[in-house]
Amino acid sequence: MYRLLIIDDECSKRAAKYQKILSDNFLIDVVLNDEDVLGTKLCIYYDAILLDHNLNNTHMDLSAVLDKCADHGAPIIIISEYKDVVTLKNMNKGKPQVEELISLKPIFSALEATELDSELKYIFNTLYNDLKSEFCTRIINVIEKTASCKPESQSANILHFSDLHFGKEDHGDSEISNFLSGLKSFIGHEKINISTVVISGDLSYSGKVEEYGALKRHLREFFRDISISPKEQVIIVPGNHDYNCNLAVLDICSETILADKKKFNDSKTFTPLDFTKFSPTAVPRAHFSDSCYQLTENVDYLKHSFFLKNSSCRNLDLEILGIENAAHFEMKTQNKRYIFKENEEKVSLTNGLNSILVGHASPNALGYRDCCDDPDDKEQCNENKCSKSSMCKHFSKMQTLMTRLRSILYLYGHNHYGRYEITPDKRHLFLGTGAPLGKDGVSGGFSILSLEISDENNKKELKVDNQPYLWKDGKETRNKPQGFKYDYQNGEWEKITTA
């Protein structure tokens, strides 16, 4: 779905109308013509901007908003509830950045008529649906026309770090503040335009409310300083420390499992766990979820079944998906089964785009195995059609989930150091990142992924430059960069040389 930003000084009055008319075809944000609000929103990718012509002087006027929107790159469509198209054309001469002029008078009037208790309601409904279809088609035509004139290559930068362990000794206010302040200075000095911030788990050390409370203040200030919208451009998933489980034995326990151990043990879907080895101070996910909601205002964090969708890389035809997977498995057994059933059920919630999957645990911890060496079985095995797949020790449930979610790239933390792996079938790339404040005195770090997609000569490719950094003594040190390329036609990754 295309994404629209609607700027309207009466957004509270008209937001419901916009939602009813456009939500079947577009993802929409309706905002005031306020300078601070626009400063945040215009950092996000939109396919088009709809701008109300009748902006009052309480905030920014039309000319000022047009100037502010000009650098965004999305086509601008002027709309008005009160003026007809002829009047709009006369009033907007000499504004080349405006791609289309649309009067909302007919469709708003038809919408109001459908709500009347009248014998003509059927006629009004038909008229409204026709006008709605015409309105949406005109917006789509503008988007597709301007998209065909854009450069073939588009890009995005993802800042990825994990395992802050806030609350641990030597991982307190001053250490976190110094890291985020240094990271902000580095991003500014290098002039890196960050599209998305990914934090792959273990924000806190023991999952306590007070740990999250202090950390939220640091992160909120950091996001503001690097012009990131927490709601639109940040994705955070939980890790084992966010549940305060015994790390030496298990990676995570879920709120549901702790609430009903018998149901868990009786279920054939899950691998039974030895609950005596859980830390007696384990905390529910609610502490993590409530804090992330307060930080991002994203209601998905409050849902019982954890699943996040982020559209900040929509310009690359990629979604970012966040799942809870900090290792539901039994450490004793060699066959670590990734409990993915509840995540698998989220397949229907995706938009059919390729995606970047974000979790906490490493692929090997989640049941990743090399694919079958038999070339005749290889394709069937990946599609879970092989007759031997249920008993094949190489079969990977991790890859099955990624395939069903159309995820070609998996970002994770937990191991406290950066690493990469391309699966033997070349379908998936795994990228881990470091813990910025290190583990047991060992330096950790962060990563910046530069993604660029191109479609030259009908050959679509995604190039990923992964630049890992060490963070030590208040300063970043650049590690050896890693380059990768994904061929959409063949569905395969390869490692490439990068500068």
Tens of pLDDT along 250-266? 333 333 333 443 433 33
Report the percent of the chain where pLDDT is more than 90.
Answer: 17
- The CA R_g of the chain, rounded to the nearest whole Å, is 25
Which class is 154-496 in CATH? alpha beta
Confidence of residue 495 (pLDDT cuts 50, 70, 90): very high
pLDDT at 335 over 60: no
Q: What pLDDT score was predicted for residue 371? A: 46
Same CATH fold assignment for domains 2-147 and 154-496: no
When pLDDT is cut at 50, 70 and 90, the band that residue 68 belongs to is confident
Q: What is the pLDDT of residues 116-128, one digit of tens each?
A: 877 777 888 899 9
- In terms of Cα–Cα distance, which of 133, 62, 154, 142 is closest to 101? 142
pLDDT of residue 367: 56
User: What confidence tens digit (pLDDT) does each residue in 429-481 have?
Assistant: 999 998 887 654 445 689 999 999 887 777 889 999 999 988 877 788 888 89
Which pLDDT score, from 0 to 100, does residue 260 have? Answer: 40
> Which candidate, 14, 13, 51, 15, places its Cα nearest to that of 33?
51
Distance CA 431, CA 445 (A): 13
Q: Which two tokens stand for residue 7?
A: 């700027």
More confident of the two residues 57 and 424: 424
**Could you state, in order of their start, the residue ranges of all structural domains in the chain?**
2-147, 154-496
pLDDT exceeds 60 at position 94: no
Task: Choose among 355, 367, 359: nearest CA to 405.
Answer: 355
More confident residue, 281 or 182: 182
CATH topology of domain 2-147: Rossmann fold (3.40.50)
Going by C-beta distance under 8 Å and a sequence separation of 6 or more, which residues neighbour residue 110? 124, 127, 128, 131
CB atoms < 10 A from the CB of 326, how many? 29
Whether 222 has a pLDDT exceeding 90, the answer reads yes
C-alpha distances in angstroms, 377 versus 364, 374, 399, 423? 22, 5, 15, 16
Would you call 264 helix, strand, or coil by DSSP?
Answer: helix
Question: Residue 389 has what pLDDT?
Answer: 43
| pLDDT 10s digits, 351-399 | 567 889 998 887 766 655 544 445 555 455 444 455 444 434 444 566 7
Question: Phi and psi at residue 168, in whole multiples of 5°?
Answer: -75, 155
pLDDT digits (tens, 9 = 90+) for 291-308: 999 999 888 888 766 788
- Rounded CA-CA distance 394/123 in Å is 62
Structure tokens at 129: 């649906």
